[in-house]
Structure 1
Amino acid sequence: MSSPTNMPPTSAPSTPKSGKPRKSARPGWVRAVLAGAAAVVVLALVVLLARWLRTLGPVQDFLTTYPGQAELPASTPLGLPAWLGWQHFLNAFLILLIVRSGWLVRTTARPKANWTRNNKALIKTKNPPKKISLDLWFHLSLDALWVLNGIVFFITLFATGQWLRIVPTGWDVFPNALSAALQYASLDWPLENGWTNYNALQLLSYFAVVFIAAPLAIATGLRMSNAWPQHTARLNRAYPIEMARALHYPTMLFFVLFIVIHVVLVFTTGALRNLNHMYAARDDAGWLGFWIFAGSLALISASWFMARPLFLRPVATLTGKVTR
């Protein structure tokens, strides 16, 4: 059917069935700029509000009573041992690659390669072999290593008494956390001495990561994986996969937000001393922790680059068949 004018039919504006012309969506960079500007305005308002609150007498009394650090039990060990530094590196190494691979699984419509478990695989399940993307295989493999590392972490944490540093043992942790949050928001930050005692807000954050977010990520990821028993109707009704999917992605976003805030605070509250605490098991402002951190960052960057089919395919073929 020809157009009534000399213009080609494709030049006419697109009109949906309702008869109303479609609204053109804003380009992605415009939405990003608007979101960034809105975030800056909100942060500025939060800072101004916090600084105004700190001028009030009752708030000043509250900050004096609760300076931001909850009192720890007398049996709490002093300092950070070397094993905790290694655990910190392994957790950072694995969780960053887990987030990367998980994001690829979520956003890649046509994977470049697929993997199918063979009958000689080390890990077997009652479910028949199923073809999955190579990104998902990498994600699940990293999950298994992360869980194994977490088991070692939990055992060592409680065996050495280090759990007392990240588990609330008194109700004063909550007003102290509110005090620390107000101090952070006003840009007049609380005194930092992570070698002896985290502030209450840090304590609650680490507790949430270790004892809430990590188990939740494992429980939801297991429900979505092929290792979950598919033929147990009662169990599947009690824990539907839709619930796992609804919780797994927000849990990943929580980890990303925590990592961003954690890194910013490490480098803005005494970078050298903090890096020595985390990587060198020492309480000074030397450069050893920085160089260990730099080496770990280089290793993470190299692993990030190599996490692609060209390098993953030979490893994946050890436990299954890789196809394009």
Structure 2
Amino acid sequence: MANPRKPEGVLARLRAQPLWKQALIWVLAALVVVAAVVLVAKGLRAIPAVKDFVATYPGHTTPPAGTPEGFPGWLRWQHYLNFFFMVLIVRSGLRVRTVQRPAAYFTPKKRGRGAAPKKISLDLWFHQSIDILWLVNGLVFAVLLFTTGQWARIVPTSWDVFPNAISAALQYASLDWPTENGWVSYNALQLLTYFLTVFIAAPLAALSGWRMSGLFPAKNKALAKAYPIEWARAVHFPVMLYFVLFMIVHVVLVLSTGALRNLNHMFWGQDVSSWAGFIVFVVGLAVAIGVMEGARPVVLRPVASLMGKVSRN
């Protein structure tokens, strides 16, 4: 007698649906979760003890004396380049994970003695190349951050940042935005989030990507054993998801908490509400989308061929 057919899981049934229906289901599920979070947050804020907590910790901390205000030109460029490279990294990383038969392969030029260079897909070559540019940009950012004093805007300097971050999160969740002036300082939740992104998530992405790349000294058995590739794989994809979530939430909050003023801060360098920053943002976004969509094998082949051999198999 044939075995009874096992019931399919919810995720398996979801994957069997058309792409548009999957997207619709996820959007509806997200809206339900957001609505539940808002209702819970509003209910919590009606409790007297919670009201007192928010009054005691309004959501922001005082930056150290001498902390610079505003967004200098180098910071605005670094911010855009970081976004630009991250978009390409996420897109190329997803292609590496999902494309079954790459359109082309890349083999680096052999340098010196030793084993022959390892052949990789053209998608992986592009992903690793953008990774290197992102790392260089990050190193420049770190140097300028600490030499100009801008570090004080995203590094916690007092313990009250934690209760203030909880208060800010509660205010965001209840759709009652915390009072802030990003030109002068970030609120506590922003500060902790930027600290996590710059000093924890970014290094984790870099170290895990290095372990999985051809740049890792695989011949060093002791190092390979101390840092197994399985660990890197377990970290790299979740960190990428974190960056995707961060960018989505970041853009949504920028646009919903005073779009023109926020965009002028980061793209025009002025604490005003005008359309200048918005225009620069739209142009920059169009450039990023254009490069992302244009990074196809027909475009990548001639560039990759300058650094090695490109073949169809």
Indicate the TM-score class for this superposition, using the shorter chain for normalisation: over 0.9
Task: Give yes or no for the alignment of 1:96 onto 2:76.
Answer: no
Task: Give yes or no for the alignment of 1:56 onto 2:47.
Answer: yes
| TM-score (norm: length of structure 1) | 0.90
How far apart, CA to CA, are the structure 1 residues paired with 2:223 and 2:36? 48
- Larger radius of gyration between Structure 1 and Structure 2: 1
Structure-1 residue corresponding to 2:17 = 28
**1:133-148 counterparts in 2 under 5 A?**
133-148=121-136
8 A Cα contact 1:127 1:226, kept in partner? no
Instruction: Give, as a single letter, the amino acid of the residue that structure 2 aligns with 1:98.
Output: I
Structure-1 residue corresponding to 2:288 = 300
Q: Deviations over 1:102-154 (max 9, x none)?
A: 1100111110000000136xxx8976311100000000100111111111100
**1:108-257 counterparts in 2 under 5 A?**
108-119=99-110, 128-257=116-245
Instruction: Give, as a single letter, the amino acid of the residue that structure 1 aligns with 2:3.
Output: G
Task: Give yes or no for the alignment of 1:322 onto 2:293.
Answer: no
Instruction: Give, as a single letter, the amino acid of the residue that structure 1 aligns with 2:5.
Output: P
8 A Cα contact 1:192 1:269, kept in partner? no
8 A Cα contact 1:165 1:197, kept in partner? yes
Structure-2 residue corresponding to 1:47 = 38
Given candidates 60, 71, 96, the residue that maps to 1:105 is 96
How far has the Cα of 1:236 moved from its partner? 0.9
Identity percentage over the alignment? 57
Structure-1 residue corresponding to 2:3 = 19
8 A Cα contact 1:126 1:229, kept in partner? no
Structure-2 residue corresponding to 1:8 = none
Instruction: Give, as a single letter, the amino acid of the residue that structure 2 aligns with 1:179.
Output: S
- Residues 60-69 or 23-32, more deviating: 23-32
How far has the Cα of 1:46 moved from its partner? 1.4
Instruction: Give, as a single letter, the amino acid of the residue that structure 2 aligns with 1:173.
Output: V
- Residues 136-145 or 285-294, more deviating: 285-294
Count of paired positions: 305
| TM-score (norm: length of structure 2) | 0.93
Q: Deviations over 1:228-247 (max 9, x none)?
A: 11111111111000000000
Question: Cα 1:264–1:283, aligned 2, differ >3 Å: closer, same or farther?
Answer: same
8 A Cα contact 2:106 2:120, kept in partner? yes
Aligned-pair Cα RMSD in Å = 1.7
How far apart, CA to CA, are the structure 1 residues paired with 2:132 and 2:159? 36
8 A Cα contact 2:169 2:189, kept in partner? yes
- Residues 74-83 or 151-160, more deviating: 74-83
How far has the Cα of 1:23 moved from its partner? 4.2
